[in-house]
Amino acid sequence: MTLALYGHRFSSYTQKVVIALYENGTPFEFRGIGAESPGHTAEWLRRWPIGQFPLLVDGDRSVVETSIIIEYLQSHHPGPVRLLPADPARALEVRFLDRFFDLHVMNRVQHAVGGALTGDPVKRQEAVAFAEQKLEVAYAWLETTLAGRAWATGEDFTLADCAAAPALFYADWVHRIAERYPVLAAYRARLLARSSMARAIEEARPYRALFPLGAPERD
């Protein structure tokens, strides 16, 4: 039975899982959530009433939370790209960077977006300022941490890079990566050029008007 992924093309966390699927050429059916597909939305909420996406369906099994979904795919639908190393120490580093990109980059972006969605100019300004402050700290740490690495933890593309790609894609829209962070900027460029992420970007392009802070012309 073909895997089914419920989510939205413009969602960073949906993209994180889509990248993992594309990396290994894993067949799946994308079931978009939105007003144009009420059936998909109803089934998604029936299976996961918490109401967060993405949701992976494999037969009768529902799998949620992006990092768990990607680990599930590696265990149950493995492909040529191993996204979590077999070595426990290396796997721990990958998991840590995965959490870093989700918690300290993407969540900051979502904070700014949430403030903009309130429609209150003061809340918008405060949320963006908070996100910029936190992202600046994250950028500085990443600039040092990523030095000498092709990908997040070294030479191999992993779960951490699946998280980093959409996180840094949108973070640069909220708080531009400055010239003083050339290592980080180059890493973001490599991520966006990778075929799995490039494909996810193109699939999400029609939805850019949804970005409440205004999507830039770049990327």
Question: What percent of the chain stands above pLDDT 90?
Answer: 96
All structural domains of the chain: 3-76 (3.40.30.10), 88-205 (1.20.1050.10)
Three-state DSSP at 29 gives strand
Kindly report the pTM of this predicted structure.
0.96
What's the confidence (pLDDT) of residue 218? 87
Residue 215's identity, in one-letter code, is: A
- Tokens 């993209």 sit on residue: 15
Q: 20 to each of 39, 77, 99, 107, 163, how far by Cα in Å?
A: 26, 11, 16, 20, 10
What's the confidence (pLDDT) of residue 203? 97
The arithmetic mean of pLDDT across residues 133-146, rounded, is 98
The arithmetic mean of pLDDT across residues 209-219, rounded, is 93
* Integer Cα distance of 153 and 178 in angstroms: 22
What's the confidence (pLDDT) of residue 64? 97
Residue 174's identity, in one-letter code, is: V
Among 176, 103, 101, 107, residue whose Cα is nearest residue 145: 101
What's the confidence (pLDDT) of residue 202? 97
What's the confidence (pLDDT) of residue 34? 87
**Band of pLDDT at residue 145, cut at 50, 70 and 90:** very high
Give pLDDT tens digits for 10-29: 999 999 999 999 999 999 99
Report the sign of the C-alpha dihedral through residues 17, 64, 83, 134, in that order: positive
The arithmetic mean of pLDDT across residues 130-151, rounded, is 98
What's the confidence (pLDDT) of residue 148? 97
What's the confidence (pLDDT) of residue 1? 64
pLDDT, the chain, mean: 97
Contact criterion met (CB below 8 Å) for 2 and 196 = no
Alpha helix stretches (DSSP H) within the chain:
12-23, 38-47, 66-76, 88-100, 107-117, 121-145, 159-174, 182-193, 195-204
